[in-house]
Amino acid sequence: MSINFYSKFFPLIKKGVASVPFQLRPLSTRTDLFNVENKSEEYAIFRLNKPPVNSLNLEYLNLLNNQLDEFERNPKLKGIILTSDVKSTFSAGVDILEMYKCEPKRLEAVWRAVQDFWIKLYGSKKIYIAALNGHVLALGCAIAMSCDYRIMVDNDKTKIGITAVLLGINAPSWVKNTMINTIGFRETEKSLKFAKIYNPHQALKLGLIDEIVSSDKLLSRSEEVMKTWCKIPTLAREMTKESMRSETLGKLVNNREVDVQEFITSTMDPHLQDNLGKYLASLKKK
C-alpha cells in the first residue's frame, strides 16, 4: 500500500518537494497573524493570532495554507499542536464579511481556500493535536474535528459547535462527514439539525473533544500527548491514518467544483444574505 498520502492528493506539492531540496527551517516563524514554535525536531506549536476571534478571510486562509505546506515539506516533523494566542477564542470560523454582500469571484476564491485548508489538514499524515483555548465555532469546529485529537479548556462559558442551520445554511457534506467520523451519524444529525452548541463537558460526553484540562495545563498536556504519539512507529501510524481518512477525503477531492458551486449559489441567495446581515448586526450589537 502506498503511504505517500499527501502527495497522492497534492501532485503539485509533490513536484515542489522533488525539485526543491529540503532546507533546515529556522527555529521559529513569527508573523503578525500566527506563530510557529519548533519545540523539538519532532513537533511544533502553531498559534493562530488574528484578534478578535481568528476569523478566516481569504488572505489569512492563504497564509495558513502556505504554513501547512511548510509543515508537510519537513520530513523530520511528526506533529503539530494547533492552538490560538487569542484570548477565549480558538476560531469563530470563516470571516462573515467574506460572505455578506460579496463578489462571486472573491467568494469562490474564499471557498477554494477553505477546501484547500480542510484537504491539507484532514489529509495530512502528520499528527495534529487541537489545543482548544476558547470558542470553537463553525469552520473552527470543522478544523478542530479534522485534527487527530482535541483537548479543551475547562471553562463552562466556552462554546463548540456548528449553527449553520439557524442562518438557513446546509453544512457542506465534507463538514457533515468529518463530524460523523468524530461523533457518529445520529449525534451529527441532531447537532447540525438543531444547531447544537456545547460546553466542554457536553462535548466530552459526546466525543466531540477527547480531554478537558485547566487552562494553565492546556499546552503542557498537549505536549505530553504529542510526545507519546511521536514514539509510535511513524510508517504504521501514517498508513493507519491514511486508511481511516482516504474515503472521506476523496469525496471532496473528487467533487470540489460541485461543492464550490453549491456554496456560491446558497450564499448569494437573497434570503441568506438578509439573514447574514441581521446576524452580523447582532454580533456587533453585543
Residues at the interface with ligand L4XM7KOE (CB under 6 A)? 52-53, 55, 88-89, 92-97, 135, 137-139, 142, 159, 162, 164, 167, 169, 171-172, 175, 279, 283-284, 286
Q: At its nearest, how many Å lie between ligand L4XM7KOE and the CB of residue 276?
A: 6
Q: At its nearest, how many Å lie between ligand L4XM7KOE and the CB of residue 273?
A: 11
CA atoms of 43 and 137, how far apart (whole Å): 26
Q: At its nearest, how many Å lie between ligand L4XM7KOE and the CB of residue 22?
A: 34
For 282, other C-beta atoms within 10 Å of its C-beta total: 9
- Residue (55 or 222) nearer to ligand L4XM7KOE, CB: 55
Read off the C-alpha cell for 189: 444529525
Q: Kindly tell me the burial class for residue 25, based on how many C-beta atoms sit within 10 Å of its own C-beta (0-12, 13-18, 19 or more).
A: middle
Residue least distant from ligand L4XM7KOE (Cβ)? 93
- Residue (78 or 176) nearer to ligand L4XM7KOE, CB: 176
Q: At its nearest, how many Å lie between ligand L4XM7KOE and the CB of residue 281?
A: 9
Amino acid at 78: K
Does residue 118 come out as left (phi exceeding 0), alpha (psi in the -120 to 50 range) or beta? alpha
- Residue (125 or 191) nearer to ligand L4XM7KOE, CB: 191
Read off the C-alpha cell for 216: 494553565
For 21, other C-beta atoms within 10 Å of its C-beta total: 6
Q: At its nearest, how many Å lie between ligand L4XM7KOE and the CB of residue 169?
A: 5
R_g of the chain computed on alpha carbons? 18
- Residue (27 or 97) nearer to ligand L4XM7KOE, CB: 97
Q: At its nearest, how many Å lie between ligand L4XM7KOE and the CB of residue 140?
A: 7
- Upstream peptide bond of 52 is cis (omega within 30 degrees of 0): yes
Q: At its nearest, how many Å lie between ligand L4XM7KOE and the CB of residue 54?
A: 9
CA atoms of 179 and 201, how far apart (whole Å): 18
- Residue (44 or 188) nearer to ligand L4XM7KOE, CB: 188
Q: At its nearest, how many Å lie between ligand L4XM7KOE and the CB of residue 175?
A: 5
Sheet holding 89-91, edge to edge: 89-91, 135-137, 160-161, 197-198
- Residue (46 or 90) nearer to ligand L4XM7KOE, CB: 90
**Alpha helices (H) along the chain:** 5-9, 11-19, 58-73, 104-122, 139-146, 173-183, 185-193, 200-206, 218-230, 234-253, 256-268, 270-285
